[in-house]
Chain A
Amino acid sequence: MTKPLPTPVKKNPQKRSTVPTLPPVARSRAALGLAVAAARGAFALQHCEDCGAVQYPPRDACCKCLSVALDWRETDPTAKVLAQTTIRVSPDPYFRERLPWRMGSVKLAAGPVVVCHLHSEVVRGDTAEIVLKLDKAGQGVMVALPQKGSEHMQDDPMLRAMSCDPRHRRVLITDARSPLALPLAKALLGAGATTIFIGEPEDWRNWEGRAALAALENVDLLPLDVTDTSSVTRLAAEIGGKVDILINTASFLRPGGVLGGDTVFARDSMETNVLGLMRLAQAFGPAMAGRTADGVNSAAAWVNLLSSQALAPDTSFGTFGATQAAARSLSQTLRAEFSKAGLRVMNVYSGPADDEWHQPLPPPKVSPSSVARAIVKGLIDGLEEVACGDIAREALERWSADPALFERELRGGGS
């Protein structure tokens, strides 16, 4: 049984915040495949295309037939725990602060023996489920989970460090007027978040839906306009030290391609979708990066909501697609910049939303509540890349398989 985490007490401002340290970050090129799979929540291992052998640790050639044709494939995650240990002495600063630390050796049904982190409910002899998680260093690591965990299994300290669980955490949603704000706030509160700050642009102007948000307990509506640097800075000065998860829901969307498109709309969408992200990052990022080891309610994640058009545009929304591609590129820089602090950047890709701007499009469209669920699940699972809805899921798959082919297909070829 995992004990539930204690409710965090109010921080003593006279005490120094714990400086974030990271577990070992160095990996071979082959081993990066683990992080690629972990980032999207998959359990993948190297399979030999010639002889079918499944192997681990990642290699540059097959250890059965010497073939170099190796392919990362989803693999049966069932394993038997062969041996266990509790590490009580470590020269590594990250683990030293977290001792004792349990690890073990497991044999996968698929063949390989894996040295992995052991959840506190897993012991020698158990059948366990092995998952790939991103650790604080942003690297993919093997974790043995109980097949049937107890109620609070997610509160295991090792697992908590791999996740960005909203439980006990304070979240900033940047745009109250997004149709996503209400279902997202509810989903986060339902997952145990303690406070939801919601940024409200043009707060002097009343709008439909405000009352429903304001009526929620533990929700604070605060003025925030991501196109206005001083507004962003002002809010960061007020709550920057208390934001554990930031979810950027601000988005500006107008239809239109390049020829015949309106450059004023294009500039407005750049202001919100790209420069807004940059302003938020500059104002809130450093404080969050400094608080990633700050106890139970440490800073954990930065979430960007992107359209799957970030990968390749739907040409009838060409300028919007350009802002999404730019925002995705910024998110990758931000991910690299935050990696030194262990702050996760999660991109959630969704297809066309079921809103006024996509009104003429046929289904499937994505409802705000399903995006909210995908965000909360992605945070609990500690993911970096999340697709919400069938269109985004398929787009991500096709783009990963062959970006050039995907672009041609979107243009209407290949029928």
Chain B
Amino acid sequence: MKRQTYDGVVLAAPVSVPYVRYSMETAHWWIARALRDTLNTAGIAPQDLDGLSISSFSLFPDTPVGLTQHLGLSPRWLDTVPTGGASGVIALRRAARAVQAGDVDVVACVAGDTNRIDSFRTLLSGFSRFSMDATFPYGFGGPNASFALLMDAYMEEYGTSREDFGRIAVAQRANALHNPDALMKTPLTLDQYMDARMISDPIALFDCVMPCAGSEAFLVMREDDALRRGLPFARISGTIERHNAFADDPIQLCGGWGVDIDELYQMADASPEDIDVLQTYDDYPVISMMQFEDLGFCAKGEGGAFVRSRDLTISGDFPHNTSGGQLSVGQAGAAGGYLGLVEALRQVTDQAGGTQVPHARCAMVSGFGMINYDRGVCSAAAIIQGACT
């Protein structure tokens, strides 16, 4: 059956609460700040909040249920999206359908996590059953070690060099220098990238994100609602999600987008050339490169040549991760799965400030989440269009 469009549903009111490296506050605190800002932007009082979608790793022992009472909210629609780096797109597509069906008028989508000293280690220890049973007892390198295996196999298979991945990291740092809220504030050269110390070969220091605390939010509502409230908004041209794709591949060289990408372009009636801004999930440059391929910007294995031939900065011919991405802004837990979508929403509504790509109207956002055992399980992507009002 052909999927319905998202006509009449939009997203608006992008919020990024500036990240900090360590925070003694809780996920509740970070979520409250982002929620308050996004509701304020739309002029909605907390007690009038209609729907809520939450993504967080550090709410324990609470769930979003506890959060409603904690924050004094009484929504008629409540969702929790546990897909990590794919949370933003997946929260959006669920909220959009609920708004479209009339189950709810406005959904606040919020992701946030705190980061106390040692909380990264404890988060890892209890991350998933397979990681507890079958990866962390093997050197406890965390995601660095798991992605090092992917990168090692990818480089071996396609002959990609470290310089190629370095170009992605270096371009994002250049972008981050235009984002006052990025945690990384000094320029990064390709030489510095190449000379950095190894963390888990071939993953070196500048291949890694910095765990931090922060939160992100946006609202999903009907288009007439956004117009009535005077909010700049973006329409949803298409979305996809997929879990545990290509399970028989011995090592993950292709993400789940490979299954669904044609449907995404069909639904959006678009092709890769139509994308003005791309926001990929960049927990590691190799994963961004994999997305360039799987999202159809170049053929499988040609990611290295692609980044050599394109300029990935804000002013370049292929603007990518314009805020600096997680590599330069920081990874605030589940908020990392929102960062690209919230930045894309700012871009296509001309609200991106220093990182604004001129005339950006059409953005693609992809998410990648949850390294459950040896690979990322969740993939998602969306194409959104800024409204010309």
Interface residues of A (CB under 8 A from B): 23-24, 26-28, 30-31, 56-58, 63, 82-92, 94-95, 101-105, 107, 113-117, 124, 135, 137, 139, 141-142
Q: Do the beta carbons of B200 and A105 come within 8 Å of each other?
A: no
| Segment of B139-147, B289-297, B350-358 in the binding face | B139-147
Q: Tally the A-B contacts, defined by beta carbons under 8 Å.
A: 120
| A340-B349 Cα distance, complex, nearest whole Å | 58
Q: Which of B133, B145, B148, B156 contacts A57 (CB 8 A)?
A: B133
Q: Is the CB of B121 within 8 A of A92?
A: yes
Chain B residue with the shortest CB-CB distance to A140: B137
Knowing A83-B153, A84-B149, A86-B198 are in contact, say whether A24-B137 is a contact too (CB < 8 A).
yes
Q: Are A104 and B373 in contact (CB under 8 A)?
A: no
Q: Which of B95-103, B123-131, B303-311 contacts A (4 or more CB under 8 A)?
A: B123-131
Q: A85, B203: Cβ atoms under 8 Å?
A: yes
Q: Which residues of B contact A92 (CB under 8 A)?
A: 121, 136, 140
Flag whether B60 is at the interface (Cβ < 8 A).
Answer: no
- Give 18 A-B pairs besides A83-B150, A89-B141, A104-B149 with Cβ atoms closer than 8 angstroms: A26-B132, A30-B133, A82-B250, A85-B141, A85-B200, A88-B199, A88-B200, A89-B200, A90-B139, A91-B140, A92-B121, A95-B139, A105-B250, A113-B251, A115-B149, A115-B373, A117-B139, A141-B137
- A236 vs B139: C-alpha distance in the bound complex, in angstroms? 36
Q: Cβ of A101 and Cβ of B139 under 8 Å apart?
A: yes
Pick the residue among B137, B141, B202, B373 that contacts A87 (CB under 8 A): B141
Q: Is the CB of A31 within 8 A of B133?
A: yes
Complex Cα–Cα for A103 and B149 (A): 9
Is A24 within 8 A of B199, CB to CB?
Answer: no
29 A-B interface contacts by CB (under 8 A): A31-B133, A56-B134, A58-B133, A82-B153, A83-B149, A83-B150, A83-B156, A85-B148, A85-B202, A87-B144, A87-B145, A87-B148, A87-B200, A88-B197, A90-B141, A91-B121, A92-B121, A92-B140, A95-B139, A101-B141, A102-B139, A105-B149, A105-B251, A107-B250, A113-B250, A113-B374, A124-B152, A137-B137, A139-B137
A117 touches B138 (CB 8 A): yes
Is there an interface contact between B142 and A91, defined as CB atoms closer than 8 Å? yes
Residues of chain A within 8 A of B158, CB atoms compared: none
Nearest B residue (CB) for A139: B137
Given A83-B150, A105-B251; A24-B120 close (CB under 8 Å): no
Tell me the bound Cα distance from A104 to B137 in angstroms: 12
Interface, chain B (partner A; CB < 8 A): 118, 120-121, 124-125, 129-130, 132-142, 144-146, 148-150, 152-153, 156, 197-203, 247, 250-251, 373-374
With A23-B140, A89-B141, A95-B139 as known contacts, state yes or no: A28 contacts B121, CB within 8 Å.
no
The residue in A82, A83, A102, A113 that gathers the most chain B C-beta atoms within 10 A of its C-beta is A83
Given A83-B152, A107-B250, does the pair A89, B133 have CB atoms closer than 8 Å? no
Q: How far is the CA of A103 from the CA of B139 in the complex (A)?
A: 7
Q: Report the separation of the CA atoms of residues A135 and B373 in the bound assembly, to the nearest whole angstrom.
A: 20
Nearest CB in chain B: distance from A18 CB, A: 18
Of all chain A residues, the one with the shortest Cβ separation from B205 is A89
Q: Tell me the complex Cα distance, A313–B144, Å.
A: 53
Contact, CB under 8 Å: B132 / A24: yes
Tell me which residues across on chain B come within 8 A of A84, comparing CB atoms. Answer: 149, 152
Expressed in whole angstroms, the Cα–Cα distance for A86 and B133 within the complex equals 20
A105 partner, pick from B121, B137, B144, B374, beta carbons under 8 A: B374
**Of A28, A84, A87, which is in contact with the most chain B CB atoms at under 10 Å from its CB?**
A87
| Measured CA separation A101–B138 after assembly (Å) | 8
Question: Is A26's CB under 8 angstroms from B125's CB?
Answer: yes
Quote the shortest CB–CB distance from A54 to chain B (angstroms).
13
Contacts of B145 in A (CB 8 A): 85, 87, 103
User: Could you say which residues of chain B place their CB within 8 Å of the CB of A94?
Assistant: 140
Q: Which residue of A lies closest to B122 (CB)?
A: A91
User: In the complex, what's the smallest C-beta–C-beta distance from B154 to chain A, in angstroms?
Assistant: 9
Residues of chain A with a CB closer than 8 A to B149's CB: 82-85, 103-105, 115
CA distance A31 to B373 in the complex (A): 14
- In the bound complex, residues from chain B placing their C-beta under 8 Å from that of A58 are 133
Pairwise interchain contact A135-B153, C-beta atoms closer than 8 A: no
> B133 to A27, Cβ gap below 8 A?
yes
A31 surroundings in chain B (CB, below 8 A): 132-134
Report Cα–Cα, A102/B133, bound state, in Å. 18
Quick one: which of A63, A83, A85, A135 contacts B137, CB cutoff 8 A?
A135
Measured between beta carbons, the chain B residues less than 8 angstroms from A89 are: 141, 144, 199-200
Residue of B nearest to A98 (CB): B139
Shortest distance between the CB of B160 and any CB in chain A (Å): 14
Distance between A249 CB and nearest chain B CB, rounded to angstroms: 34
Task: Tell me, rounded to whole Å, the shortest Cβ–Cβ distance linking B38 to chain A.
Answer: 33
Q: Hey, which chain B residues are within 8 Å of A86, CB to CB?
A: 198, 200-201
Q: In the complex, A26 Cα to B126 Cα: how many Å?
A: 9
Bound Cα distance A105, B139 (Å) = 13
A24 to B138, CA, bound (A): 9
Residue of B nearest to A56 (CB): B134
A27 to chain B, nearest CB (A): 6
Nearest residue in B to A112 (C-beta to C-beta)?
A: B250
Contacts of B152 in A (CB 8 A): 83-85, 124
Whole-angstrom distance from the CB of B193 to the nearest CB of chain A? 17
Enumerate chain B residues within 8 angstroms of A23, measured Cβ to Cβ: 137, 140
Q: Which residues of B contact A26 (CB under 8 A)?
A: 125, 132
A307 to B268, CA, bound (A): 74
B residues near A95, Cβ cutoff 8 Å = 139-141
C-alpha spacing A90/B247, complex, angstroms: 28
Beta-carbon nearest neighbor of B203 in chain A: A85
Whether the pair A57, B130 counts as a contact (CB closer than 8 A) is: yes
CA distance in complex: A142, B373 (Å): 14
The CA-CA distance from A103 to B121 in the complex, in Å, is: 19
Closest Cβ of chain A to B196, distance in Å, is 12
- Complex Cα spacing A23 to B373, Å: 18
Which of B120, B133, B200 touches A28 (beta carbons < 8 Å)?
Answer: B133
Contact A57 B139 (CB under 8 A): no
Residues from chain A with a CB closer than 8 A to the CB of B153 are: 82-83, 105
Give complex CA distance A87, B137 in Å: 12
Q: Which residue of chain B has the shortest Cβ distance to A26 in the bound complex? A: B132
Contact partners of A141 in chain B: CB under 8 A:
137-138
Question: Which residue of the partner chain A has the closest CB to B137?
Answer: A24
Say yes or no: A82 contacts B373, CB within 8 Å: no
Q: Report which of A87, A88, A101, A115 forms a contact with B374, defined as CB distance below 8 A.
A: A115
Q: Which of A28, A63, A90, A91 contacts B132 (CB 8 A)?
A: A28
The chain B residue sitting closest to A117, CB to CB, is B138
Give CA–CA (A329, B201) in the complex, Å.
46
Known contacts A23-B140, A24-B137, A91 near B120 by CB under 8 Å: yes
A229 to chain B, nearest CB (A): 40
Docked Cα-Cα span, A95 to B144, in Å, equals: 14
Measured between beta carbons, the chain A residues less than 8 angstroms from B129 are: 28, 57
Determine the chain B residues whose CB is within 8 A of the CB of A115 once the complex forms: 134-135, 138, 146, 149, 373-374
B124 in complex: contacting residue of A91, A101, A137, CB < 8 Å = A91
Question: Which chain B positions have C-beta within 8 A of A116?
Answer: 138
CA distance A84 to B156 in the complex (A): 11
Write out the residue numbers on chain B whose beta carbons fall within 8 Å of the beta carbon of A85: 141, 145, 148-149, 152, 200-203
